[in-house]
Amino acid sequence: MNPTWVMGFPNGYETGTYLALDMGGTNLRVCEIILLEEKGEFDIIQSKYRMPDELKTGESEELWEYIADCIQQFIEYHHEVEDLQHLDKIPLGFTFSFPATQTYIDKGVLQRWTKGFDIKGVEGKDVAPMFEADIARRKLPIRLSALINDTTGTLIASAYTDDTMRIGCIFGTGCNAAYMENCGSVPKIASYNLPPDMPIAINCEYGAFDNEHYVLPRTPYDIIIDEDSPRPGQQAFEKMIAGLYLGELFRLVLVDLHDNKSCEFFSGQDISRLRKAYTLDSSFLSMIEEDPFENLSETGDLFRRELHIRAKQPELELCRRLAELIGTRAARLSACGVAAICIKKDIKSCHVGADGSVFNKYPHFKARGAVALREILDWEKDQKDPISILAAEDGSGVGAALIAALTIKRVKEGNLAGIRNVEGMI
């Protein structure tokens, strides 16, 4: 649970031009966002850059250089080079979607890498100066105004257009949520003596829930995923529900069934492709769950095409059921995270903004999550869902820009909680 120094919701009338950098997992995205005068309106231009896999497990210097390269390309493409020298430094919101301890809004000490990242020399260090050094070297007209988590961005971006939003979630490669707390209820910031009812967004980092394995029953496949990951013992909850792991869970079960000779599963087939770890991603399961045909012919084609396996009808049926189980467990556990926040904050009705590939693309995820939320929170049978999880606004773009805007605004108004360098902010 990390305090974020995002001190309240936007009112929809924030304005100005901001840059946003989104380092999520799969891609790197640079955006320029103009928050317009009209309530909740904005313009955005953006470019996506592939995040090469080697970078995720490489050296820290290469990562920061690559990021600065992408920002430089973006700025040079969208602004006249002559203008660059005269441009005021544009405030930038950096969405760094990993657990970070923040003593200031523009600082963040990486607690640990998640989602398969394993870059040396970053854990335990403040990522802001590493990022800023390459930006300064290239003399890019940028100042880092806020380092944010994708969930906080999602919460704030969604609240910009919908004032009933109370929670921002990501159900994607990783999973997590953020919500607004009162400073008085956050022991970690008690020493700051802030007004107890002042709001502060909390990044829950609930992907790390139950790292001690006291609560959730784990299957042998969950244990293998954890043990073979770059950080065994970390992100226990995330490893059961996030997109990065769903395909791998499925693969591990199939390999186990095959290797257990008494099952005669895929017997006589060459399963060498299936033996490769992380060869299936969650879109493979999505396609199986989406197969509209009774005889699962599309699933059969998929196995032939991707894995060179000719599956028999009962094998296909088992695969479908297995995908359903994995997808349903993920959706139901995801709903537990949302329900936990609602119970803690005694929220009886609200909107929850959600983003991420699993939420947006995995079939039935939303409906299964909604059913689970209803069961956990025990709503009346005929009662319309008082809490619903909806597709969020772009948190890592618009959300990051809004947080930069909100930070500058509150510094000007004299609220300096979590602000290190007042002059540099305004």
Q: 97 catalytic, yes or no?
A: yes
In whole angstroms, give the CA distance from residue 230 to residue 72.
31
Give yes or no for residue 181 binding ligand BGC (CB under 6 A): no
Question: Are 209 and 236 in contact, with CB atoms under 8 Å apart?
Answer: yes
In whole angstroms, give the CA distance from residue 159 to residue 351.
9
Say which amino acid occupies 281. D
Give yes or no for residue 153 binding ligand BGC (CB under 6 A): no
- Choose which of 72, 149, 299, 357 interacts with ligand BGC (CB under 6 A): 149
Q: How far is the CB of 315 from ligand BGC (least distance, A)?
A: 33
Alpha-carbon distances, residue 254 vs 155, 263, 309 (angstroms): 38, 11, 12
Q: Which of residues 10-69 bind ligand BGC (CB under 6 A)?
A: none
Q: How far is the CB of 151 from ligand BGC (least distance, A)?
A: 5
Q: Please work out the total of residues on this chain that contact ligand BGC, with binding judged by CB under 6 A.
A: 16
- Choose which of 95, 102, 176, 407 interacts with ligand BGC (CB under 6 A): 176
Give yes or no for residue 106 binding ligand BGC (CB under 6 A): no
> Given the complex with ligand BGC, which of 155 and 402 has the nearer CB atom?
155
Q: How far is the CB of 70 from ligand BGC (least distance, A)?
A: 19
Catalytic residue among 126, 134, 150, 222: 150
Q: 47 catalytic, yes or no?
A: no
Catalytic residue among 22, 97, 226, 334: 97
Q: How far is the CB of 49 from ligand BGC (least distance, A)?
A: 18
Backbone phi and psi for residue 143, each to the nearest 5 degrees, phi listed first: -130, 135
Q: 112 catalytic, yes or no?
A: yes
> Given the complex with ligand BGC, which of 97 and 145 has the nearer CB atom?
97
The distance in angstroms from the start CA to the end CA of the chain is 29
Give yes or no for residue 3 binding ligand BGC (CB under 6 A): no
Give yes or no for residue 174 binding ligand BGC (CB under 6 A): yes
Give yes or no for residue 407 binding ligand BGC (CB under 6 A): no
Give yes or no for residue 222 binding ligand BGC (CB under 6 A): no
Give yes or no for residue 4 binding ligand BGC (CB under 6 A): no
List active site positions.
97, 112, 150
Q: Give the binding site for ligand BGC (CB under 6 A).
A: 97-99, 114-115, 149-151, 170, 172, 174-176, 205, 207, 238
